[in-house]
Amino acid sequence: MSKPVPPEKLAQAGAWLAALGVPAILLALLGFLLWRGVPGLSLALFFADTPPLAALRGAPVFDGLWPACLGTLALVALATAIAVPLGVASGIYLAEYATGRAKALLAFAIDLLAGIPSILMGLFGFALILFLRRTVAPDANTGLLLSALCLAVLVLPYVIGTTRLALENLPLQLRLTGASLGLSPGRTVRHLLLPAALPGIFSGVMLAVGRAAEDTAVILMTGVVANAGAPASLTGKYEALPFHIYYLAAEHQSPAELTQAFAAALVLLALTGLMFLAARVLQTRLERQWTTEPTP
């Protein structure tokens, strides 16, 4: 008669399997990416046949990543320019001014926004163009600004959430200090709470930048194309890094193009990884700021 395995041992085995399996899968993923992508990393990856300095001055680049990088840069800059003021203001309002039912309702709307699939943001942009065509602007078309707007809506909840959390997690004492100094609530927010919450708010911005840089579904619907050159106008078509990778994965004509896709994936991963690390550093700094040393 064999003894049944005790459930605790079974759970332990499962936990070890997960704890070893997940890092192993990630290692395989990263290893594969490096193996296929590193050979493609060079200046030529970005600029192809165009001399780099000339490209930086605006000479057209064919076959290189440079236009896609510029496109992603423009996209992220525009999206954060829209999302950050709006998001920080909303976060401050929710944390410091909203009360009762209004607060619950507004917070629910923001939570809902955070849960909406990114493809629906793209569909929203697409619908907006259809709407404009039928009403005021018959020749409206998808383009850079539309994508940036939809991406801004996508990352808005990140900015609002981190701003709100950074403010709400500040110690009560700081608020009391403001009040005891005779500062009005508005001035307390502006001069005491906001500066203290700034690292947290910045971490939200970094997360938003990373998310805006990596999303593909939204721009797929709102104006990204495979060959547009450097972005020329707010309403024009453009290239972007994640779409470039997606496009090459499906439509590559040669092994060299596929290598370019893997190299581009490395570049994108480095970019989002950097944003993530910056956000983490800021968050830990914020946490350290308000925790005193542990006492036994």
Partner 1 sequence: MDHRTDALNPAAIRIRHLSVSFANRPVLRDLSLDIPAGGLTFLLGRSGSGKTTLLRAINRLNECLPGCATCGQIELQLGATRLDAYAPSTPVEELRRRAGMVFQSPNVLPLSIARNLSLPLAVTLGLGAAECEARTEQALREVHLWNEVKNRLGAPAATLSGGQQQRLCLARTLALRPDILLLDEPTASLDFKAARQIEELLAELKLRYTLLVVSHSLSQAHRLADQVFVLHDGQRIEALPESTFRDKEALMSALDELV
Partner 2 sequence: MPRGNITPSLLLFATLVSALSVLAIFGFLLWFAAPVFTGETLSSLLSWQWRPQQGEFGILPMLAGSLCLAGSAMLLAYPLGLGLCCFMHGLGPTWAARPLLGIVRGMTSVPTVVYGLVSAFLLIPLIRAGFSGSGFSWLAAGLTLAMLILPTIVLILDSQFRTIHAQTQLTAAALGFTPAQQVLRLTLPLSTRGLLVAAALGFGRAIGDTLIPLMLAGNAPLLPHSPLDPLRTLTSHIALVVATDSQSAAYGSLFACGVILFMVSLLVNLALRRLRHE
Tokens standing for 50? 């165009």
If the CB atoms of residues 8 and 139 are measured against partner 1, the closer one turns out to be: 8
If the CB atoms of residues 133 and 232 are measured against partner 2, the closer one turns out to be: 133
Chosen from partner 1, partner 2, none, partner binding at 65 (C-beta under 5 to 8 Å by type): none
At 176, the amino acid letter reads L
**∠ CA 137-82-232, rounded to 5°:** 60
If the CB atoms of residues 55 and 268 are measured against partner 2, the closer one turns out to be: 268
171 binds partner 2 (CB under 8 A): no
Out of 59, 73, 123, 281, the residue judged to bind partner 2 by CB under 8 A: 123
181 binds partner 2 (CB under 8 A): no
> Which of 68, 66, 69 has the alpha carbon at shortest distance from 44?
66
DSSP 250-279: HH--SHHHHHHHHHHHHHHHHHHHHHHHHH
- The total number of residues shown for the chain amounts to 296
Among residue numbers 17 through 36, which ones bind partner 2 (CB under 8 A)? 17-19, 21-23, 25-26, 28-29, 32-33, 36
Query: Shortest Cβ distance from residue 290 to partner 1 (Å)?
Result: 18
Out of 62, 77, 81, 111, the residue judged to bind partner 2 by CB under 8 A: 111
* Site map (CB under 8 A) of partner 1, residues 257-296, x = contact: ------------------------------------xxxx
Side-chain half-sphere exposure of 148, counting CA atoms within 13 A: 25
259 binds partner 2 (CB under 8 A): no
DSSP 32-71: HHHHHHGGG-SHHHHHTTS-HHHHHTT---SSSSHHHHHH
Assign residue 21 a region: left if phi > 0, alpha if psi is -120 to 50, beta otherwise? alpha
Tokens standing for 285? 């700094």
Q: Tell me how far CA of residue 41 lies from CA of 34, 65, 69, 267, in angstroms.
A: 10, 11, 14, 9
If the CB atoms of residues 55 and 146 are measured against partner 2, the closer one turns out to be: 146
3-state secondary structure of 238: strand
Out of 70, 205, 208, 268, the residue judged to bind partner 2 by CB under 8 A: 268
If the CB atoms of residues 2 and 295 are measured against partner 1, the closer one turns out to be: 295
Burial class (CB in 10 A: 0-12, 13-18, 19+), 257: middle
Query: Shortest Cβ distance from residue 200 to partner 1 (Å)?
Result: 24
Query: Shortest Cβ distance from residue 214 to partner 2 (Å)?
Result: 4
Q: How far apart are CA 204 and CA 163, in angstroms?
A: 7
Handedness of CA 161, 222, 82, 282 (dihedral sign): positive
4 binds partner 1 (CB under 8 A): no
112 binds partner 2 (CB under 8 A): yes
* Site map (CB under 8 A) of partner 2, residues 68-107, x = contact: -----------------xxx-xx-xxx--xx------xx-
153 binds partner 2 (CB under 8 A): yes
Chosen from partner 2, partner 1, none, partner binding at 90 (C-beta under 5 to 8 Å by type): partner 2
Residues that bind partner 1 (CB under 8 A): 293-296
